[in-house]
Amino acid sequence: MLTDSIIQEYISTIPPIPKVIKSCLAYLDASDMIQAANVAKEDKAFVLYLSSIVNKPIFGFRDEIKDAHQIFGVLGLSRARQIVYGYYLLLILPKKWEVFDFSNRKFQDLQSNLIVSWNKILDFLKISDKDARLFISLIPASLIVCEMLFRDISGTVELLRSSKQISFDELLYKMSDQTLFDVTAKIAKKWEFSENIQNLISMISSKELSQDSKDYKILSFLRLLLSYEMSKPYIIQSGLNDFFDFPLDFDHRDVATFYKLIES
């Protein structure tokens, strides 16, 4: 069984945010892009990561960007914060994915896609809250934790999936009485996200989401984004899409708006 204490133990082993990242985030919180870039330049691996992300085609920059000051300049404060958190996730990635048919390159592609699309959505919804921008990084983090949780009981996982045709999502819930988003909320608490964000995460997979809820719009668009990204062939092949089975009762106007935003 994957008890709550075991899950908490795994989450507690996530290393603290390194000093260079904390310092960089502090300067970004103070809107000091120059000092943030100066701090980043102290870590060559950090700058290499920033460059590898910002030069992905999805960001749409024509010329290759390598200098830390240029990177932070073209990203802006919100996206810079998100990508700095992305680097932190890189530090806790498994060297090799064993349970899910995934790779660290694919993981970074997923990160980039989520960040770019989530920013478009929040801009449309006119939401500027810093934690709301950042928490999209928590979804990939929870996938890492699930890889590590299942890895230690891989024999049981393989047996149950082959004999009972059970999904990873069902398996996690049957063995721990928790969903992926319960795990995500625990990570949000460890990383000291606001209580509002923790509550928002807990409602992502709720079957009783009311259109009268103040969070209906942001949750509806988040579900659309996750459904969209998790329906891509490389995610389906990995098995990670099992965790994102949402009710398909989207408002057709939200769906139309979502695809217009994503394709812009």
Residue 69 lies in a domain: no
Predicted confidence band of residue 65 (pLDDT cuts 50, 70, 90): confident
Residue 25 lies in a domain: no
Please provide the DSSP assignment of 49-115 as one string.
HHHHHHTSGGG--SS---SHHHHHHHHHHHHHHHHHHHHHHHHHS-SS--SSS--HHHHHHHHHHHH
Residue 51 lies in a domain: no
Residue 77 lies in a domain: no
3-state helix, strand, coil in the chain (%, to 5): 70, 0, 30
pTM, to two decimals: 0.81
Mean of pLDDT values over 74-99: 82
Residue 193 lies in a domain: yes
Residue 189 lies in a domain: yes
Predicted confidence band of residue 1 (pLDDT cuts 50, 70, 90): low
Residue in 70, 39, 38 with CA at minimum distance from that of residue 55: 70
- The answer to whether residues 83 and 131 touch, using CB atoms and an 8 Å cutoff, is no
How far are the Cα atoms of 56, 71, 112, 141, 214 from residue 52, in angstroms, in the given order?
A: 7, 10, 10, 19, 37
Find the range with the poorest average confidence among 51-55, 114-118, 219-223: 51-55
Q: Which domain holds residue 153?
A: 4-14+94-263
Residue 61 lies in a domain: no
Structural domains in the chain (count): 1
Cβ within 8 Å of residue 163, ≥6 positions away? none
Whether residue 235 has pLDDT greater than 90: yes
Residue 53 lies in a domain: no
Mean of pLDDT values over 236-261: 87
Find the range with the poorest average confidence among 153-162, 203-212, 238-247: 203-212
Q: Quote the CA–CA distance of 80 and 40 in Å, as a whole number.
A: 11
Token representation of residue 111: 């990160």
